[in-house]
């Protein structure tokens, strides 16, 4: 989906991910939903704050398999590749990628194909499903 590069766009992206995960069987209060929603909030906020080019939106893609949830946020600023760094201790920002790094099982940055920009992606592995009949009491 495409969102305006504004704080409102970032909030809508976060809400959409949470709703979609709930529809896919990951309830709002589940660890998977809460983790991927928080990662999305950080990546969308970074796209708005650091990847914004006037008049251009950011894109969000959410994908799922039975083992992995993946979120991708694409912006149109190619020159600014995110790197986690220690924030200024009294600063109010600079911790987003540290959170993504701590919460995601894997994450990275890829150049945007066929246009200026980049995609920051993160993956969260899901626990293996064990049918109720084979669980130990």
In this structure, are residues 107 and 101 in contact, taking their beta carbons and an 8 Å threshold?
Answer: yes
Bridge partners (DSSP) of residue 106 are 123
CA gap 97, 77 in Å, rounded:
17
CA gap 61, 74 in Å, rounded:
8
pLDDT tens column, 16-62: 999 999 999 999 999 999 999 999 999 999 888 876 676 688 999 99
In this structure, are residues 121 and 72 in contact, taking their beta carbons and an 8 Å threshold?
Answer: yes
pTM over 0.85: no
pLDDT of residue 136: 52
The tokens for 125 are 């592995």
pLDDT tens column, 81-128: 666 556 555 555 556 788 899 999 999 999 888 888 899 999 999 987
What element of type H or E holds 121? Answer: strand 118-125
Residues with Cβ within 8 Å of 60's Cβ and at least 6 positions away in sequence, in order, are 1, 2, 3, 13, 16, 17, 40, 44, 71, 72, 73, 74
């Amino acid at each position: 989906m495409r969102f305006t590069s504004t704080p409102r766009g970032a909030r809508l992206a976060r809400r959409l991910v949470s709703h979609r995960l709930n529809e896919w069987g990951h309830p709002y209060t589940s660890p998977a939903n809460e983790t991927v929603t928080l990662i999305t909030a950080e990546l969308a906020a970074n796209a708005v704050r650091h990847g914004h080019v006037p008049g251009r939106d950011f894109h969000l893609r959410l994908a799922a398999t039975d083992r992995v949830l993946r979120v991708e946020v694409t912006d149109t600023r190619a020159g600014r590749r995110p790197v986690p760094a220690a924030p200024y201790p009294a600063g109010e920002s600079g911790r987003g990628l540290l959170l993504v790094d701590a919460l995601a099982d894997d994450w990275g940055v890829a150049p945007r194909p066929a246009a200026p920009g980049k995609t920051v992606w993160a993956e969260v592995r899901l626990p293996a499903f064990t049918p109720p009949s084979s669980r130990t009491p």
